[in-house]
Structure 1
Amino acid sequence: YLDDPGLSVVEPALAAARTGKVHAMHDPTEGGLATGLHELAQAAGLGAVIDEEAIPLSPEGAALCRALGLDPLGVITSGALLLAVPPEGEEEVRRALLSAGSPGARIGTMGERGAGVVLRRGKRERPLPRYDSDEISRVL
């Protein structure tokens, strides 16, 4: 991580954009994935349902958040990229991301206007929290 932190989203963003299939993209940072998802949904004027179990977390990041009592969805996400892609473009965009050295994961869907951003785990749903202050600031 010290020599190559892998934090740039420039190449994956360009690769995804070149497909012509991306409706929107956002590089969430402070406030984490949760806040980034709220910002993306708000900008689109849509709600979103996010599958909690589909969100990729690094083992190191998950362990650190557990040890510090932080919600990993509210921790700074430098190097992450959120894309809004219609179902028919998903595979092409995923291939483009892989060609740029970045795996992609489908973590949810955007839909009904004004429905808010919901986190789903199995059959349970709850509102996704928004972090106006990054979770990491609680321990610094």
Structure 2
Amino acid sequence: MEFLETGKLKPDFLEALLGKIEITDKRVVVGPGIGDDAAVLDFGENYLIVKSDPITFVSGRIGWYVVNVNANDIAAMGGTPRWFLVTILLPEKHTTISLLEEIMGDLRRSCGELGIALIGGHTEVTHGLENPILSGTMLGEASREQLIKNDRIHEGDVLYMTKGVAVEATSIIAREKKDEVIERFGEEFYRRCLAYLEQPGISVVQEAKKACDAVEVSGMHDPTEGGILSGAYEMVRASMMDLELELDRVPVYEETRTLCEYFHLSPYGCIASGSLLIAVPHSECEGIERAFSTGVQVFPSLTRVGQFTKSGGSMYVTQEGVRKALRPSGKDELTRIL
């Protein structure tokens, strides 16, 4: 008997499973599929955008994570996150009142910062868990003009990414490997890595809005498990366009590179919330680069990393002068150490 590996399902297998789902409701604008971040329903003048996502890699700051990763997916569709529900599953004999208060505090603060109403959910202590698991459902809205779908990516569109790669992974590795990281690199380095959760931060809501306000956006995607490689490939499958991805252009922050080298991980395959992939027509390149060049920038804000070339649905990756076709498995690098 063959068992499935930890992490996302392989894209081809998932695509086949989702292809068997029949949608007969004409109000479903975007249903299940690879490459778009959320479902979309027609509610008259506006679209309702709905996303569900769990947090399974981490145990600390889990309330902060679950709000932000779900809000990111709404924003990547061109929408504004509005309402949030969360299911909180807690391990028996390991859950204290202070732990639950910490989780609820992070939920309240993160929702408050993004202007989201926390409207409901479910909480219980569950048999068989080692760590808390949170699963969120975010609802947002967009006008008909605002909606972004990755099947609208065209030949010649340029691919940008915001911030650097593996922002979320940097914070997760430090938090989950605390003692080892401190022993090897020191307390100050450890705290810098933890701070990646908020600076440069795992939210891309403002970046998505900035891009959509500045230029005509063809497509956007919030890369999560499997990193930028899986995220870019999901855009390829949604658009059925070929993509030339230049990995040498992808920013890797110092702390990220240090941790990945130490734990023998590829930063390009590590969970990547905090980065946003944005596809724009070539004619909009100057506009989006100008929009992201303003203000104080502690971290690189926008980098051109590739281009969609023609119909086909394949991804070609170039690194250190070597070009090869790549079909990521979807398995995240962090599963090797966590």
TM-score for the superposition, normalised by structure 2:
0.39
Equivalence map 1:21-100=2 (5 Å) = 21-99=216-294
Deviations 1:76-126 (A, max 9, x none): 001000000112111211222344766110001112222511111354201
Question: Could you tell which deviates more after superposition, 27-36 or 129-138?
Answer: 129-138
The residue type equivalent to 1:4 in the other structure is E
Conserved? CA contact 2:211–2:288, under 8 Å: yes
Give the deviation of 1:30 after TM superposition: 0.8
Give the deviation of 1:72 after TM superposition: 1.0
1:113 matched to 2:113? The reply is: no
Conserved? CA contact 1:12–1:96, under 8 Å: no
User: How many pairs are equivalent?
Assistant: 140
Flag the 1:93–1:66 CA change in 2: closer, same or farther, 3 A: same
Structure 1, gaps ≥5 residues long: none
Flag the 1:133–1:122 CA change in 2: closer, same or farther, 3 A: closer
Deviations 1:54-91 (A, max 9, x none): 11111111111111111111100010000001121112
Stretches of 4+ aligned residues off by more than 3 angstroms: 98-102
Instruction: Report the equivalent of 2:63.
Output: none
Identity rate, percent? 31
The residue type equivalent to 1:105 in the other structure is T
Q: Relative to total residues, which structure has the larger strand share, 1 or 2?
A: 2
Distance 2:286 2:241 in 1: 23
Distance 2:263 2:327 in 1: 18
Distance 1:7 1:103 in 2: 13
Instruction: Report the equivalent of 1:124.
Output: 322
Counterpart of 2:261 in 1: which secondary structure?
helix
Flag the 1:3–1:27 CA change in 2: closer, same or farther, 3 A: closer
1:19 matched to 2:214? The reply is: yes
TM-score for the superposition, normalised by structure 1:
0.90
Flag the 1:40–1:2 CA change in 2: closer, same or farther, 3 A: closer
Flag the 1:66–1:55 CA change in 2: closer, same or farther, 3 A: same
Flag the 1:13–1:139 CA change in 2: closer, same or farther, 3 A: same
Q: Which of 1 and 2 has higher RCO (CA within 8 Å, sep 6+)?
A: 1
Distance 1:3 1:62 in 2: 16
Distance 1:30 1:3 in 2: 16
Counterpart of 1:107 in 2: which secondary structure?
strand
Flag the 1:38–1:62 CA change in 2: closer, same or farther, 3 A: same
Distance 1:34 1:19 in 2: 26
Conserved? CA contact 2:203–2:274, under 8 Å: yes
Distance 1:73 1:122 in 2: 14
Question: Could you tell which deviates more after superposition, 44-53 or 120-129?
Answer: 120-129
